[in-house]
């Protein structure tokens, strides 16, 4: 039963995903608040790109825009050269919240549901894909249980299996392990990297943890405080789950400085009053 063909990184210089000068805004009753300001970065096939920044810097907002849920007020987002105009099965999001699984469906049905709803696969293939990816995340024995019977970490494994079953061009993860305890979070990082080693999917991962960014990412985009601007891009290929030496600590200190140096002048961010 050949269900999944691993995605191999392309050697082409053309990016799979391009975020080009993107500014994003939220409207309140009295103001228009800019969340990001002219952010640009590229993500290549098979890359693990991490958006790192303090709370309120717009990193989750950027992820929503890449997913197609929010339109830029300036700039453009392109996938494979085509402008992103809305949500699509080529971009799947895994959120932090544990309530993203319909509680009345079994674990297997939860994983299969997006495949059926999008008509990506028939029922038999959808269930086969569900079983395949549940096995990959270590939940083969839990296909017939319901989400309320699972721990938080197990629910996140189901969400990851559901996302990867869709075989998206880009997997988007919005602080997926932030609500987990430290040990479970470490285990989930290990499992995510093991899945990537096998399938080599393209990942855009949002976090506010410097250590997690260095462990999960092959490249890190460091965003300034509100409004988010791309302050630096850092290669992190040399770091992994076992990194803890002088080089790792030096990288952590450097990123901390990039995140928080000169924070005060930008903290308020541009706002303009609405009519």
Tens-level pLDDT at each residue, the chain (275 residues): 334 433 444 445 789 999 999 999 988 888 888 899 999 999 999 999 999 988 888 899 999 999 999 999 999 999 999 999 999 999 999 987 666 788 999 999 999 999 998 888 889 999 999 999 999 999 999 999 999 999 888 998 999 999 999 999 999 999 998 888 889 889 889 999 999 998 899 999 999 999 999 999 999 999 998 788 999 999 988 777 777 778 888 888 888 888 877 554 443 344 443 33
Whole-angstrom distance, CA of residue 42 vs CA of residue 20: 8
Q: How many CB atoms lie within 10 A of CB 207?
A: 23
- pLDDT for 262: 57
Whole-angstrom distance, CA of residue 84 vs CA of residue 17: 10
The pair of structure tokens assigned to 257 is 């400085």
Q: How many CB atoms lie within 10 A of CB 264?
A: 9
Query: Do residues 128 and 1 make contact, with C-beta atoms less than 8 angstroms apart?
Result: yes
Using alpha carbons, select from 154, 43, 153 the residue that is nearest to residue 143: 154
Secondary structure letter of residue 225 according to DSSP: S
- pLDDT for 113: 93
- pLDDT for 19: 97
- pLDDT for 269: 41
pTM value? 0.85
The ranges of the chain annotated as CATH 3.40.50.300 are 17-90+169-273
- pLDDT for 98: 60
Query: Do residues 221 and 52 make contact, with C-beta atoms less than 8 angstroms apart?
Result: yes
Secondary structure letter of residue 99 according to DSSP: G
Whole-angstrom distance, CA of residue 229 vs CA of residue 206: 15
Q: How many CB atoms lie within 10 A of CB 12?
A: 9
Fold for domain 17-90+169-273?
A: Rossmann fold (3.40.50)
Q: How many CB atoms lie within 10 A of CB 219?
A: 18
Length of the chain: 275
Report the relative pairing of strands 91-94 and 170-174 from DSSP bridges. Answer: parallel
């Amino acid at each position: 039963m050949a269900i999944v063909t691993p995605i191999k990184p392309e050697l082409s210089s053309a990016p799979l995903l391009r975020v080009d000068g993107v500014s994003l805004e939220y409207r309140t009753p009295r103001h228009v608040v800019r969340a990001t300001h002219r952010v640009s970065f590229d993500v290549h096939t098979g890359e693990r790109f991490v958006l790192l920044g303090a709370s309120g810097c717009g990193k989750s907002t950027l992820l929503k825009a890449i997913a197609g849920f929010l339109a830029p007020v300036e700039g453009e987002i392109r996938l494979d050269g085509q402008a992103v105009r809305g949500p699509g099965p080529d971009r799947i999001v895994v959120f932090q919240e544990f309530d993203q699984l319909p509680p009345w469906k079994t674990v297997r049905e939860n994983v299969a549901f997006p495949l059926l709803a999008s008509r990506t696969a028939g029922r038999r293939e959808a269930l086969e894909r569900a079983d395949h990816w549940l096995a990959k995340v270590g939940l083969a024995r839990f296909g017939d249980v319901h989400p309320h019977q699972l721990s938080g970490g197990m629910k996140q494994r189901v969400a990851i299996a559901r996302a990867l079953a869709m075989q998206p061009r880009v997997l988007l993860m919005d602080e997926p392990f932030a609500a987990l305890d430290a040990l479970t979070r470490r285990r989930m990082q290990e499992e995510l990297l093991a899945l990537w080693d096998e399938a080599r999917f393209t990942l855009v991962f949002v976090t506010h943890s410097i250590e997690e960014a260095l462990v999960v990412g092959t490249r890190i985009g460091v965003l300034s405080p509100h409004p988010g601007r791309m302050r630096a891009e850092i290669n992190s290929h040399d770091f992994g789950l076992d990194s803890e030496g002088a080089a790792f600590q030096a990288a952590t200190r450097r990123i901390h400085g990039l995140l928080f140096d000169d924070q005060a002048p930008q903290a308020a961010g541009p706002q303009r009053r609405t009519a």
